[in-house]
Amino acid sequence: MSSKNMIEAKNLTKHFERKIALSSLSFTIKQGELVALIGPSGAGKTTLLNSITGLVPITGGDLLIDGKPLSAYKKGKIFAKKVGVIRQQFDLIGPLAVIHNVLAGKLSEWGTFKSLFSLLVPQEKELALKALERVGLHDKAYEITSTLSGGEQQRVAMARLMVQKPEVILADEPVASLDPARADDILSMLTKIVTEENQTLITSLHSVEYARKYFTRIISIKNGEVFFDLPTEQVTDDHLAELYQIKSGGTI
């Protein structure tokens, strides 16, 4: 496995007016790592993920993606090959057929004409069908996306990401709206695909159980700071109790 640094954060800081959402965070994530971001509500997980995508501009510190500052990436094609996002709301267009949503992973590469033409005659159909097959949805390619279940829609979002093929995948609470069986299904599929492709995955999660089951490293955030950053097997119940402030007497 290559050991290049995919994400380097040095003293990353984000203020929203007077609110300090991220306070001098530092960490390095290497290619191929599966990182779970955990921490209490309001700790700064979403803000951190949004900083890495550039959606939320940082207030201070340095952020390097594959050795280059975010500002060195022009929005569009090159950045889409570097960083892809998967969200809880899936960001799919409900009235479109599944295949069009999957092919949306190519939009940043295609010009306007090819993108529009693809809505009439799907372009690079084989690529989309292959991705759908990998997520077990090849028989749903021409169904209307909004008629699919939440778990199926999340699989469509994963197939879209497979077509986009970014080096880094950021997922913000990707299974929060799914029942435990579907959530397990999605996380095992996502981590399997990412491992096969040697991609790098950073996922925020409320479930410590899923973080432990599917991820190799856990970065915990509390009050905008890194609370602990450890290989999963070194994370103890005491670490977690302290993170979520569960006192030994059993009170929360």
Is 43 among the residues that bind ligand ATP (CB under 6 A)?
yes
Contact status: 47 vs ligand ATP (CB under 6 A): yes
Given the rule CB under 6 A, which of 15-23, 58-66, 115-123, 150-158 is the region that contacts ligand ATP?
15-23
Instruction: Give how many residues touch ligand ATP by CB under 6 A.
Output: 11
Verify binding: residue 207, ligand ATP, rule CB under 6 A. Answer: no
Residue type, 129: L
Cα–Cα distance, 190 to 182 (Å, whole number): 12
Residue 16 engages ligand ATP in binding (rule: CB under 6 A): yes
Cβ nearer to ligand ATP, comparing 148 with 226: 226
19 binds ligand ATP per the rule CB under 6 A:
yes
Residue 44 in contact with ligand ATP, rule: CB under 6 A? yes
Stretch that binds ligand ATP, among 14-22, 128-136, 209-217, 230-238 (CB under 6 A): 14-22
Q: Does 122 bind ligand ATP (CB under 6 A)?
A: no
Q: Among 124, 197, 205, which residue's Cα sits nearest to residue 166?
A: 197
Q: Which is nearer to ligand ATP, 115 or 177 (CB)?
A: 177
- Residue range at the interface with ligand ATP (CB under 6 A); choices 43-51, 86-94, 142-150, 151-159: 43-51
Q: Which two tokens stand for residue 43?
A: 């700790």
CB of 37 to ligand ATP, least distance (A): 8
CB 214 within 8 A of CB 35: no
Which positions touch ligand ATP (CB under 6 A)?
A: 16, 19, 21, 39, 41-47
